[in-house]
Amino acid sequence: MNLFKKSNVLFTLSRQWQCASVRTQSNAKWILPSGHDTNIYVYNCITKKKVPLILRNPNYASWYMCGPTVYDSAHIGHACCYMKFDIIRRILCNHFNINVIMVMGITDIDDKIIHRAAELGEDINTLTRRFEAEFHEDMAKLNIKPATIITRVTDFVPRIISFVQEIVDKGNGYVTVDGSVYFDTSQFDRYGKLFPVSMDEEPAQPMVDKKSPLDFALWKGAKPNEPSWLSPWGPGRPGWHIECSTMASAMFGRTMDLHSGGVDLLFPHHENEEAQSCVHHGVSQWVNYWLHSGHLHLKGDTKMSKSLKNTISIRDFLTKFTANEFRVFCLLSRYRNGVEYTDLSMENAVAVSKKLESFLEDADAYIRGVSSSGVVDEPFLLENLARTQVQFLSTLANDFDTAKGLGLLLELISITNRMLHQETKVVECSRRPGAVAAVSEFVRRTLNSLGTQYGTNRDMVADSPLQMERMVTSAVNFRNLVRESALLDLKDSKKQENEQRFLRNSSLLDACDTLRKDFLAAGVQVKRNAVSLSSMRAGQSRKQTNDIIKSETSYPAGQSEKELIALRKKSCHLKTILTVSLLERRKKKIDKYTSVTLKGNNGLTSTDYNYRDGYKAMV
């Protein structure tokens, strides 16, 4: 669903509700679920207060989230909503040990999609798949975890038709002359449960087919030149609200723990979802907890919206700021609150992000002895750490109050920073790296648990196989290219008796040897063999593996350098972790090559390596 669709309706109805006489629905009450108490309190839009979060099953939460309507690029208003729910999801998983199963519904058939496809002269399916793929790429760039299950409306049309038919059969839906089906709100005595409305309100303009202005479409009769599906009421397509009800019910059944979206979806979208789902399943409460994120708005309370043409795409945003800085921006406010996007607010987020990163770097330097200054009061620091840990968890349990939680982290960082930067002459007596390490590890682990990606360079190298692969591959490639060039030039300089060239190439070879020794000190051994051993398959001897490598690395004559490299990459299906691109000697057949594997202490290669666990690279 478009998270910011029809937001003006919410505020208009809010003003009308304050002025009009509202017919009270005696049955429109929230029911406290029975089950497992998580010791978390969340805001309830029905009771207008915080209530205990009780899950139907221990340590398991079913969560449906309204996804995008994929007709255009996502902007940072959308990103802010998804980021906040990503943070809550991580809090539940990482701090309360709850296994969250999240389903996201993608709307891939809608009025806006139809109009955009016609405008661009593009097939609807091609358009929606393109923008859906772009959406997921944008979320990945922001380090927002993908949903456990992703559903699309067009894959559920038969289920939607069955869902609507059930509502009609129960007397809560009616068919109009154009083949549309509407939900009869007058037949549902709990309508207005999430957002109280006036049931006696007069329509603003005469209605042709609808009985009430509050009635909403379950099924839309077909229009010329629009996609449609056959149904008992004639050709047509799903209404907006029925999509989420059907997809969520298909995944979770008669009820679920959590359902989320932007605050603009509270009414009418979520109100209508709850009404039609309760009728279909014959239950009093379909969703136990509704979560709504505040809007991202510009200065002066102007909403960021595609219709107003004041949006900032995620990709444009990331050319100026980092994903960490945007996440800090979202952490600095409560998820329910609206957020003002201004230069000042982003400058504040950038400053906080830099403070967090600088602290982790300074603490790491102190722990490793690179920085000798600082007077650390160990008992006082550890006492503050223990208190912060307790208070931080308490703030998260209080409706996921990340703004207060981040404040607690910053306060602990300030206390530690004052100690680290205090000048002293008695270094040995005042150094307490253990206490600083405890604070640093807590801060780093907590920030990463909320989705930020902070850490020292050492942590990033050790914990990221991809980053290690790129670093080692590039360095070894560079060394070998320099060495090959120096050796060839060295031979020429000897023949020509050019002393200057000879000395220059000798120094290059010395530099290559130095790099090899540096690699060795870091646990990466660089070797040169007639045939390099990439890895040994289980049960094979070294000779058998060498024979396989020889057979798999022979190349037809006459192929280009690019073709040879591509062929070698394709043929190298041995279980190696790091494979260095093989050096081509001016399109001649190669008799030597370099490869990298990581070998464990048990003698077997592994794809899950970690230098700290005793693995080393063999080249």
- The more confidently predicted of residues 17 and 250 is 250
pLDDT of residue 129: 97
pLDDT of residue 219: 98
* Count of Cβ atoms closer than 10 Å to residue 370 Cβ: 9
**How many angstroms separate the CA atoms of 266 and 264, rounded?**
6
Q: What angle do CA 359, 355, 466 make, to 5 degrees?
A: 70
- The more confidently predicted of residues 534 and 314 is 314
Mean pLDDT of 511-517: 75
Question: Of 241-250, 322-331, 495-504, 523-532, where does mean pLDDT reach its minimum?
Answer: 523-532
How is the chain split into domains, by residue range?
7-324, 342-455, 463-618
Mean pLDDT of 584-591: 36
Element (H, E) at 472: helix 465-496
Residue 350 has pLDDT above 50, yes or no: yes
Question: Of 67-76, 173-182, 333-342, 510-519, where does mean pLDDT reach its minimum?
Answer: 510-519
Exposure string over 583-597, b if 16+ CB within 10 A, otherwise e: ebeeeeeeeebbbbb
**How many angstroms separate the CA atoms of 447 and 90, rounded?**
11
pLDDT of residue 209: 85
**How many angstroms separate the CA atoms of 305 and 75, rounded?**
9
Q: Strand, helix or coil at 499?
A: helix
The one-letter code for the residue type at 445 is: R
**How many angstroms separate the CA atoms of 12 and 359, rounded?**
47
236-265 tens-digit pLDDT: 999 999 999 999 999 999 999 999 999 999
**How many angstroms separate the CA atoms of 473 and 495, rounded?**
33
Written as six digits, the tokens of 383 are: 């006492």
CA nearest neighbour of 600 among 509, 535, 528, 552: 535
CA 99 vs. chain centroid, Å, equals 16
* Strand ranges across the sheet with 236-238: 173-175, 181-183, 216-221, 236-238
80-98 tens-digit pLDDT: 999 999 999 999 999 999 9
Q: For residue 501, give every residue at least 6 positions away whose Cβ sits within 8 Å of its Cβ, in sequence order, or none.
A: 489, 490, 492, 493
CA nearest neighbour of 451 among 23, 90, 62, 100: 90
Taking a C-beta distance cutoff of 8 angstroms, is the pair 185, 215 a contact? yes
Q: For residue 37, give every residue at least 6 positions away whose Cβ sits within 8 Å of its Cβ, in sequence order, or none.
A: 52, 53, 54
Mean pLDDT of 95-115: 97
Q: Strand, helix or coil at 254?
A: coil
Taking a C-beta distance cutoff of 8 angstroms, is the pair 514, 559 a contact? no
Written as six digits, the tokens of 502 are: 């000879």
What percentage of the chain has pLDDT greater than the value 90?
60
Taking a C-beta distance cutoff of 8 angstroms, is the pair 263, 292 a contact? yes
* DSSP structure class, residue 603: S
Start-to-end C-alpha separation, the chain: 52
Taking a C-beta distance cutoff of 8 angstroms, is the pair 525, 618 a contact? yes
Residue with tokens 């004559």: 557
pLDDT of residue 490: 64
Mean pLDDT of 21-25: 36
- The more confidently predicted of residues 264 and 373 is 264
* Count of Cβ atoms closer than 10 Å to residue 260 Cβ: 26
Q: What angle do CA 254, 257, 258 make, to 5 degrees?
A: 115
The one-letter code for the residue type at 69 is: T
Considering the entire predicted model, what is its pTM?
Answer: 0.73
Element (H, E) at 54: strand 49-55
Highest mean pLDDT among 226-230, 303-307, 485-489, 561-565: 226-230
Half-sphere exposure of 230 (CA within 13 A, CB side): 0
Pairing state of beta strands 36-44 and 49-55? antiparallel
Element (H, E) at 394: helix 378-397
Angstrom distances, CA of residue 430 to CA of 42, 418, 419, 517: 45, 14, 10, 36
Residue 160 has pLDDT above 50, yes or no: yes
421-430 tens-digit pLDDT: 887 655 555 6
Element (H, E) at 288: strand 287-293
Q: How confident is the model at residue 524 (pLDDT cuts 50, 70, 90)?
A: low
pLDDT of residue 532: 31
What percentage of the chain has pLDDT greater than the value 70?
71
pLDDT of residue 135: 98
**How many angstroms separate the CA atoms of 385 and 416, rounded?**
10
pLDDT of residue 375: 87
Written as six digits, the tokens of 252 are: 């979770």
**How many angstroms separate the CA atoms of 207 and 573, rounded?**
68
Peptide bond into 465 cis (omega under 30): no
Q: What angle do CA 191, 236, 271 make, to 5 degrees?
A: 15
Q: Is 7-324 assigned to CATH 3.40.50.1100?
A: no
Burial class (CB in 10 A: 0-12, 13-18, 19+), 15: exposed
Half-sphere exposure of 443 (CA within 13 A, CB side): 34
Residue 552 has pLDDT above 60, yes or no: no
Residue 529 has pLDDT above 60, yes or no: no
Highest mean pLDDT among 195-209, 359-373, 478-492: 359-373
Question: Of 165-174, 427-436, 448-457, where does mean pLDDT reach its minimum?
Answer: 427-436
If you write DSSP's letter for every residue of 426-465 in order, what string do you get?
A: -HHHH--HHHHHHHHHHHHHHHHHTT-----HHHHHHH-H
If you write DSSP's letter for every residue of 107-172 in order, what string do you get?
A: E--SHHHHHHHHHHT--HHHHHHHHHHHHHHHHHHTTPPPPSEEEEGGGGHHHHHHHHHHHHHTTS
pLDDT of residue 121: 95
CA nearest neighbour of 616 among 505, 520, 488: 520
- The more confidently predicted of residues 280 and 480 is 280
205-223 tens-digit pLDDT: 667 789 999 999 999 999 9
Residue 583 has pLDDT above 60, yes or no: no
Average predicted confidence (pLDDT) for the chain: 80
pLDDT of residue 7: 39
Burial class (CB in 10 A: 0-12, 13-18, 19+), 322: middle
Mean pLDDT of 47-68: 97
Mean pLDDT of 528-538: 35
